[in-house]
Structure 1
Amino acid sequence: MRALIAAATGLAVALALVFTITAMGSPAGGTSPKPLLTTVPKHP
């Protein structure tokens, strides 16, 4: 019975955390205009 109560409590806390983060919305920001380097440049 204790395991069931602990699981229900953990689920409630997890859902509360998800709803809190969702309510705050996504952070304001943008993408970088510079592309990321995906390959290593050749050495001379």
Structure 2
Amino acid sequence: MRALVAAAIGLVPVLLFVLLVSTVDLPPDGPTSPRPLLTADPGPKK
């Protein structure tokens, strides 16, 4: 039982950090491309 409590206490900061990073959504460093990497439309055939 003590091991479960210790594991839960150890995981709380990790879960809080993951939630913080997912809600803040920091912008990437450097220039970014306006074109998306993945598109639903493949475009014209070459």
**TM-score, length-scaled by structure 1:** 0.49
Q: Which of the two has higher C-alpha Rg?
A: 1
**TM-score, length-scaled by structure 2:** 0.47
